[in-house]
Amino acid sequence: MPDMPPSEDQAPENAATPENSVEAVDATSSEHPEGVEAGQAQLAQQGRKLEVIGYVAVIIISLATLGVKWSMRPPEPIAKGDNLPVLQEYLATDKDQTIVLAISPNCPHCTKSMPFFRQIVEKRNAEGISKSVIVALHEQTPVEEEQKILDKNNVKVDKIVQLDMDKMNVQGVPTMLLVDKQGKVLEVWNGRLPEDEQKKVLAAL
């Protein structure tokens, strides 16, 4: 009589059951504890590496941010006692001092200051004061534009020069400077001066 296949209710003696599988895993784990511990140690080491990398990234970003903030800081404005070698070639050698008018044709306060600038030149001429008067424009400003405004207001300066205002630390116009032959700043006046301040400047020439 031929052998009959086992029925569904009759499993082979060596067939794996869920319980047997769990026992087999537990047995494997208990038989090789070193492997499990080594895996856990490796994971912990990788976690520490990632933590260190994170700290380093935060430090780098912080330093970069500080560097950007520092680079964005504006330079110190021009002040009494500063030296301006950029002006040296434009200073009159036959005059003791030079009045520098840092202005712009697009500056309304500069235009409104023209009567004051005219008074400076007229007093210099009338009293023979040993001072040169020059206009300093931004290096990209056309001289012709400012010359028209000066002519319209009858302000006859000795010279109009184009300069890098950043090298002069001039942060706004109008700015008026009094410098000696070596380019050392003796006085600084910023902005459009009120009438009483204008009188003080004229009296001090």
153 within a domain of the structure (yes/no)? yes
Q: Are residues 132 and 199 in the same domain?
A: yes
Residues 60 and 91 in one domain: no
pLDDT at 144 (0 to 100):
96
The boundaries of the domain holding residue 55 are 18-71
92 lies in the same domain as 190:
yes
64: pLDDT confidence band, cut at 50, 70 and 90? low
* 35 shares its domain with 98: no
My answer on whether 162 and 138 are in the same domain is yes
Q: Round the average pLDDT of the chain to a whole number and report it.
A: 82
pLDDT at 184: 96
Q: Is the same domain home to 67 and 90?
A: no
45 and 116 together in one domain: no
Looking at the structure of the chain, the number of domains it has is 2
Give per-residue pLDDT as tens, 157-181: 999 999 998 889 999 999 999 999 9
The pLDDT of residue 66 is 47
Average pLDDT over residues 107-127: 97
Confidence of residue 139 (pLDDT cuts 50, 70, 90): very high
Domain-embedded: residue 107: yes
Q: Does residue 169 fall inside a structural domain?
A: yes
Q: Is residue 7 part of a domain?
A: no
pTM equals 0.65
Looking at residue 93, its pLDDT comes to: 86
Please report the DSSP string for 69-114 in residue order: HHHTSPPPPP-TT-B-GGGGGGS-TTSSEEEEEE--TT-HHHHHTH
104 belongs to a structural domain: yes
Tell me what pLDDT residue 163 has: 93
**Any domain includes 78:** no
pLDDT band at 56 (very low <50, low <70, confident <90, very high): confident
Instruction: Order across the sheet with 175-180: list the strands.
Output: 159-163, 131-138, 97-102, 175-180, 185-190
Is the model's pLDDT at 54 over the cut of 80? no
Does any domain span residue 151? Answer: yes
Residues 49 and 115 in one domain: no
- Inside any domain, residue 12: no
